[in-house]
Amino acid sequence: MKNKILVILFLALLISPFKLEAKADSCRCCKTSESNDNSPSKIEGAGGSMKAHSAGNHTPQSLRASSSILEEQLSCSRTGENSPSKAHQQPCTSVSSDTVMRGSSPFSSLDDRKRFIKHIRDSIDAIPFDTTRDDDYWRRAIVNGKWSFFTDPTVKKPGLLNFASKVYNFYTKAFNNYDTAYVASVKKNYRIIIKNNNWFDTYGGQIANQDTKIFMNSNISSSMGIGFSYMGIGYTYMFDLDNLFGGDPTRHSKWEMTFATSRFSFEAYHTRNSGTVNIHRFGDYNNGKYIDKEFNGLERVSTGFDLYYFFNHRKYSQAAAYSYSKIQKRSAGTFIAGLLMTTQSVELDFNYLDKDMKEYVPNGGVPIVYKYHYRVFSLLGGYAYNWVFRRNWLFNITAAPSIGLNHSFEDSVDGRRNQLSFDLRGRLGLVYRSRNFFYGLQIIIDAHFYHSKKHDFVNSNEDLTLVAGFNF
């Protein structure tokens, strides 16, 4: 019935040629005689309903009567009051459109019709449903779109639904609680994000008994991706634009997953880079000065996760700067503590060097392949700050160094062994919001340090990301 009423009202708004005018001889096709014309006291069923409606007593019967009158007016406007085919019917009495709403004047303008339709729609929404808190209340609430029952602990719910409700309420209270003077929710659970990611890798250090200094970096790689998230859970898949459009031999791939609450943030990632890099220093080649040589013998795979805890979690929101699920209203900072686990594999195959460079490979070219393959477990600590420097604008800076245990694998240059590990993760973020749309810029530096008696090797990833998306 609600759908029928809304369709009728929608047609009344759109059919501009058939304007409803207040004339004494305007039509309302009915079965009553002409003597009943425009007499509210004599319009029995519909008149009583109209009076009830105008008094604010929005019952289904009053809405049916209102829609019925409007339907008949539209019908008369289409057919004409003196249609030959309807000559045998009695003349139509006039009941203006505003009579349905106030019992007086007609729709004098488009705005009046819009107000009338809004009035009826609000009346439909205001029709109460049975709120008796019995065992079937949750079913009636779902049918009527009253989803607040899910978080109401006083409502009886079936087993699985009741369990889900308790888990959600516990999660919200324990892990997603903010000071609303500093952080606000976007009030939308879903987000779609489009990302343009641009990054390059840097490799350097001293290898082979600390005797040979090397430095190289990859070309800038561009990728596009689309992400989807619900509440605090998100997933993003990226694909390489260089291969897709440019045919670049560099092969990059990346995926990321995030989960964020007010208290902590979890991030998992996997990146792979194989192909061409540029050597800028290689031992004593060119007297140890700057060079620019292509090298196709590098392959890097990085997999891991970070878990952060935010001490000032009621006033500071990491999600406002990087997940876009919250809004930072006032500037705030927080200390950070957490865990880091990562597996790094960087292989340098010097068989791919130019002939004139191979003689500078340490130890006469034995080994010719250097592989740094290790796993790190670390404790991290740092500080993050959100600066709200203007309405709808946010700038974030985060620095989180870590220290822990480095376990190298059998195929690594040092074989199987345990040693101290150092890592660094830094972020810069800029966000602008406009209603449900948001735009962001992120700069991330992720550096991993491998240190042993024979080798000091660093591999890092420098990342620039542009983001556009909306909440719904």
Q: Can you tell me which residue has the tokens 């991330």?
A: 444
Rounded CA-CA distance 204/459 in Å is 7
Between CA 351 and CA 338 the distance in angstroms is: 41
pTM over 0.85: no
pLDDT, tens digit, 9 for 90 and up, residues 409-454 = 999 988 898 988 899 999 999 999 988 899 999 999 999 999 888 8
Would you call 248 helix, strand, or coil by DSSP? coil
Residues 110-121: b if buried by 16+ CB within 10 A, e if exposed: eebbeebbebbe
Tokens standing for residue 90: 């009695």
Cα-to-chain-centroid distance, residue 307:
20
Give every CB contact of residue 287 below 8 A, 6+ residues apart in sequence.
Answer: none
State the burial class of residue 143 (Cβ atoms within 10 Å of its Cβ: 0-12, 13-18, 19+): exposed
Q: How far apart are CA 340 and CA 344, in angstroms?
A: 13
**pLDDT, position 432:** 97
Amino acid at 311: F
Q: Tokens 């039509």 map to which residue?
A: 27
* Cα dihedral 399/405/406/409 (nearest 10): -140
**For the chain, how long is the longest CA-to-CA vector?**
117
DSSP, res 5: H
- Report the C-alpha gap between 402 and 385 in whole angstroms: 18
Instruction: Enumerate the domain spans of the chain.
Output: 2-125, 137-175, 183-471
**Token code pair at residue 329:** 């209203």
Q: What is the pLDDT of residue 221?
A: 81
Q: Does residue 365 sit in helix, strand or coil?
A: helix
The DSSP secondary-structure symbol of 329 reads -
DSSP, collapsed to helix, strand or coil, labels residue 30 as: coil
- C-alpha 472/C-alpha 470 separation (Å) is 7
Token couple for 256: 């990321």
Point out which residues pair with 375 in neighbouring strands.
Answer: 343, 407
Query: What pLDDT, on a 0 to 100 scale, did the predictor assign at position 1?
Result: 47
Residues of the chain with pLDDT under 50: 1-4, 15-61, 63-64, 67, 71, 74-106
The DSSP string of 52-105 is HHHTT---HHHHHHHHHHHHHHHHHHHH-TT-GGGTTSPPPPP--HHHHHTSS-
Task: State the architecture of 183-471 in CATH terms.
Answer: Beta Barrel (2.40)
Neighbouring CB atoms inside 10 A of 300's CB total 21
